[in-house]
Structure 1
Amino acid sequence: MKKIAAALCLLLLLAAGDMAVARPAGGDTEVRLLACHGYGCNFRTMIPLTQQDLQAIRRAFAEYGKTAQGEREAVKKAVAIYEERTTQVIGVRDEPRMAFGRPKRKGQMDCTDESTNTQGVLRYLQGAGYLKFHRSGRPVVRGVFIDGRYPHWTAVMIDDKGGRWAVDSWYGAGGAEPDILPLKEWKKRGRGGRR
């Protein structure tokens, strides 16, 4: 019960804007983002994005960001860049999904960590002016045990027509591109640990 309460508090803070936001690291071109890890944000590490990371993000949006669909592809690339940098800074590659019963493992992330981190990337992208067709939303959960699914969180972005999109980075290992799909479709999934 304590873990559920901690996760809910964390997500309330995120929704209020107190967590996972970009912070200047000493210059206009340096960016640091919060990385939650260890399940339920037991560990917090500031991740400095390098100039190469920022250039790769700029290239992704220059190449793909001309349409809403293309912008979602660029978001996938940006999240993967952030996750790869997170792996390098923490020194541990996040395994796909999570190992139940093994909490507080440095570098490993449950869906609370992943959705918090991905929402932070979305907020950075929005604040930096990369998102032209979307804006950062609030994390959403699916599953309530009685429906045969574990609770599972995802980051969310909202397109300029009001469509909501799940940005779910939990299923892949650290550095993999997240799944981006309509939130309605995402909410129907998740039985038996399947995407």
Structure 2
Amino acid sequence: MRYSVVVLAALWIAAAPALAGEVDPGVTAISASAQAERAAIGRTEAWFERRIAPLTGTTTRVARAGPLIGLAGNRGQFDCIDTTNNTNALLLILNELKLLRHHTIAAPVSRFLFTEGPHNTAMIKDHKTNELWTVDPWTHKGSEVPDIFPLAKWKGGE
């Protein structure tokens, strides 16, 4: 793992004063509905990566990095375990700031354990419907909005 929950939280705290005037509107408008909150989580993930990447050396992060495409051990890249941990760190920060009103953080999930190689991602649970949603930035370049899918769709390979 390139950056732990503690490191990302420390970066957030360290960067917060400098970013005070730049907070993405998605962060503060996160509570309109569960659907709006999921979209805001995606925008916030992308915003967070744009702001943190220059500090962490990950401005050139590619989609789907890992050993299968020769990027294992490259400190500027994240595998799916890294993005899962970092997304969970961001979700914990949003939760601590009382910005998650329609979802709770759920345990990370895996797919394709034996067929294509395992893939992991973060997950949230809708309070009203109990539906599980995946938050998967690994499938996109750094600073792009992550895929946010219902668990069944994600498990199917989306």
TM-score, structure 2 as length reference: 0.83
**Deviation by residue 1:156-181 (Cα, 9 ceiling, x = unmatched):** 01110311100000011111111101
Say whether residues 1:169 and 2:144 are aligned partners.
no
8 Å CA contact 2:28–2:99 kept in 1: the answer is: no
Deviation at 1:33, TM superposition (A): 2.1
Q: Contact (CA 8 Å) 1:49, 1:82: kept in 2 or not? A: no
- Deviations 1:35-56, CA, capped at 9 Å, x for gaps: xxxxxxxxxxx45433436852
Residue 39 (structure 2) pairs with residue 73 (structure 1) = yes
Task: Say if 1:119 and 1:138, in contact at 8 Å, map to a contact too.
Answer: no
What is the match of residue 133 of structure 1? 102
Q: Secondary structure at the match of 2:23?
A: helix
Matching of residues 35-184 of structure 1 within 5 Å: 46-47=11-12, 48-51=14-17, 52=19, 55-57=22-24, 59-93=25-59, 94-100=61-67, 101-145=70-114, 148-160=115-127, 161-184=129-152
Structure 1 position 70, deviation (Å): 0.3
More helix by share: 2
Quickly say closer, same or farther: Cα 1:128–1:137, change in 2 above 3 A: same
Q: SS state of the match for residue 40, structure 2?
A: helix
Residue identity (%): 29
Which has the higher Rg, Structure 1 or Structure 2? Answer: 1
What is the identity, as a one-letter code, of the residue corresponding to 1:110?
A: D
Query: Contact between 1:87 and 1:107, CA under 8 Å: does it hold in 2?
Result: no
Deviations 1:108-165 (A, max 9, x none): 00000001100111111111100110011111100122xx322000100111031110
Tell me if structure 1 keeps the 8 A contact 2:66–2:78.
no
**1:184: how far off?**
1.3
Change (3 A) 1:162 1:105: same
Q: Is the 8 A contact 2:65 2:72 kept in 1?
A: no
Distance across 2 between alignment mates of 1:179 and 1:49: 26
RMSD after superposition: 2.3
Measured after TM superposition, the shift of residue 99 of structure 1 is 4.5
Q: Which has the higher contact order (CA 8 A, sep 6+)?
A: 2
